[in-house]
Amino acid sequence: MSQTNTTTSYTGPTPASPEQVHAIIAELRRLYPDAACSLDFSNPLELLVATQLSAQCTDERVNVVTKQLFQKYRSVEDFASVSQEELEQDIRSTGFYRNKARNIRAACQRILSEFGGEVPQTMTDLLSLAGVARKTANVVLGNAFHIVEGFVVDTHVGRLSRRLGWTSNDDPVKVEQDLMRIIPQPDWLDLSHLLIFHGRAICDARKPLCEQCTLAPFCPSAFQVSKSKSNSNAKTLDN
């Protein structure tokens, strides 16, 4: 696994070592004991749609949109049969609404034709749905079905993983592979939530609050993140 470069000023545990990983997980659990999926949903279909809408959009905005959306569309059939134009207008404020509407409709049509109207419960089947990449599949499997096959990698998880020295990759799939090699499998789902919470609260993309961060003793990037590299996030619409 490739790791980020460290400087001689860092004196903590070796990045990606069990000692560093375990210390970080323990501290994150202390900081965010209630960390969980931030998207509002009541069934697997709602989580699938909400996660697709969350690409390049905040969870807060998605929750505002889905509060009404899930009252209007209550089944796979509802999403599969709505016109492209109508669904676009209903999700417009989440951004990239044309592509998202197209993918949601196509995914639900496939769920009807290939999976008996039920959101599938395997990685392979979920990846066969329009607009679903590993991030969305991992979110749905882990949070709706309690099946953990991989590690959810969004922009927060990718950013913090690079800063902690757990990966040097930008591609979400490669980041996931690196994390799965060093993180104990029972921690995969919880740690993704914990990293997201910490990314929102402290480890900001542009101005990380290192002076307030209790992970600083374990972070090779603490107080060293340059503005030019601090927002190294994927530019693509990744679900």
Q: How far apart are CA 5 and CA 15, in angstroms?
A: 10
User: Catalytic: which of 90, 154, 178, 238?
Assistant: 154
* C-alpha distances out from residue 134 to 44, 74, 126, 150, 169, Å: 16, 25, 9, 8, 16
Q: How far apart are CA 191 and CA 116, in angstroms?
A: 33
Q: Which helix (H) or strand (E) holds 19?
A: helix 18-31
DSSP string, 14-76: PTTSHHHHHHHHHHHHHH-TT----S--SSHHHHHHHHHHTTTS-HHHHHHHHHHHHHH--SH
Q: Could you tell me the two tokens for 75?
A: 């089944």
User: Catalytic: which of 135, 178, 187, 238?
Assistant: 135
Is residue 190 flagged as an active site residue?
no
CB 47 within 8 A of CB 139: yes
Is residue 178 flagged as an active site residue?
no
Q: Could you tell me the two tokens for 81?
A: 């049969």
CB 53 within 8 A of CB 68: no
CB 232 within 8 A of CB 170: yes
Residues forming the active site: 135, 154
